[in-house]
Amino acid sequence: MAQGDEATPGPTPTPGPASGTAGGERPRLGIGMVGYAFMGRVHSQAWRSAPAFFDLPVRPVMAALCGRSAEGTARAAGQMGWAAVETDWRELIAREDVDVVDICTPGDSHARIAIAALEAGKHVLCEKPLANTVAEAEAMADAARAAAARGVYAMVAFNYRRVPAIALAARWVAEGRLGEIRHVRAQYLQDWIVDPDFPLVWRLRRELAGSGALGDIGAHIIDTAQFITGQHLTQVSALTETFITRRPLAETSAGLSAGGGAGTGEVDVDDAALFIGRFSGGALASFEATRFATGRKNALRIEVNGSAASVAFDFEAMNELWFHDHALPAEEAGFRRVLVTEPGHPYAGAWWPPGHGLGYEHTFTHEVKDFVQAIASGTAPSPSFDDGLRVQRVLAAVERSAADQSRLTAVRQT
């Protein structure tokens, strides 16, 4: 779930021409971004750093930043390196110097911004989860497929696919090094809302966020598990819980509470979600997404067990991957640590000497690099909006299962 500042409505946009070359330079790719809070800052850094470390076929230009507050947006644009400011996302889409629309807003606005941008002939990078509902995600995926037929591309921003260690694990699975995948365990553990006095921010309100820990961080481990295994979830059985049902109303920059007054407001999303599942290849899986794991800050963990080997990963040690080769004699077998910083490891060769680790922000730079290269080569980027829709359907199945207290709930495939 991206955190940002959505702009106010405006007139319907008209398509702008594609940007070209200037003075023999590489073709220009104008970027317009909607939202400038936490996720907007991360994306801004990625747009700045990608061309500095990767040999991109086009030249990304940070053309315009959009947010509701003219003053706040201008201040953010100056800090983050954006050339111009808009307070209406429709005006951003209509700009002739914008070729890509990067959506860093809460989930309730993803569908209308993305669909409008694609219909206007602009490529789209959209934060996860793709939308707040399956119906919205289906509409977005339909629009993306129609746009792709015209050479206009869309990608959903599941940045953890771009952690070098996770990409390496996926490579090993694809190469068959793990054999038949039998069991997956995935967790995403945080503790940032354990304090009952933490305010009712937008991520705790269903109308804006769609769901709580499930959509915000559960979406990541669903996508990561499906990415590494190359399979998709077909069945789930779930429990969800909201531990703190009322919270102080958050103050906005204007000094007004998010709920319209002083006091407290209802938390109408989940604080934690647990579910088991089955993959299309037959593997069993367990998933845990919680923002109440006291002491855990950003522990995305995944272990994949196969007939021939296993891999394990923890984002709080993100440059490491643990590998167990089951073919070794028992006397010398066990998990061994692989430091994923060698030039031959995914993405790592563009950065520092071996042993000089990467961080959270680098995953977004890798995301931008892959997206730009796909646009320039005229190939569909990954993960696609269809991939985002597949995750959205799993989220919906988890919510149905938890609500119905059912043993197994099918994930709708079409």
Rounded CA-CA distance 319/413 in Å is 34
Instruction: Summarize pLDDT for 181-240 with one digit per residue, the tens.
Output: 999 999 999 999 999 999 999 999 999 989 999 999 999 999 999 999 999 999 999 999
Q: What is the DSSP letter of 325?
A: E
Q: Are residue 152 and residue 245 in the same domain, yes or no? A: no
Q: Print the domain residue range for 122.
A: 28-160
Residue 87 and residue 9 in contact, taking contact as beta carbons nearer than 8 Å: no
Q: Are residue 191 and residue 147 in the same domain, yes or no? A: no
- Top-confidence residue, 125 or 24: 125
Residue 44 and residue 33 in contact, taking contact as beta carbons nearer than 8 Å: yes
CATH of the domain at 187: 3.30.360.10
Residue 179 Ramachandran class (φ > 0 left, ψ -120 to 50 alpha, else beta): left
Q: Compute how many other C-beta atoms are within 10 angstroms of the C-beta atom of residue 139.
A: 18
The answer to whether residue 15 sits within a structural domain is no
Q: Are residue 312 and residue 343 in the same domain, yes or no? A: yes
Q: Are residue 233 and residue 254 in the same domain, yes or no? A: yes
Query: Rg of the chain over CA atoms, in angstroms?
Result: 21
The answer to whether residue 377 sits within a structural domain is no
Closest Cα to residue 285, out of 181, 403, 386? 181
From 103, 133, 160, the end of a domain falls on: 160
Rounded CA-CA distance 406/383 in Å is 30
- Looking at every residue in the chain, the average pLDDT score rounds to 92
Q: Are residue 95 and residue 43 in the same domain, yes or no? A: yes
Q: Are residue 191 and residue 137 in the same domain, yes or no? A: no
From 129, 160, 191, the end of a domain falls on: 160
Q: Are residue 61 and residue 204 in the same domain, yes or no? A: no
Q: Are residue 232 and residue 132 in the same domain, yes or no? A: no
For the chain, report the end-to-end CA distance as a whole number of angstroms: 24
Q: Are residue 104 and residue 233 in the same domain, yes or no? A: no
CATH of the domain at 45: 3.40.50.720
- Which of 25-29, 57-61, 346-350 shows the lowest mean pLDDT across its residues? 25-29
From 160, 189, 224, the end of a domain falls on: 160
Residues 379-405: what's their mean pLDDT?
96
Number of domains composing the chain: 2
pLDDT at 409: 76
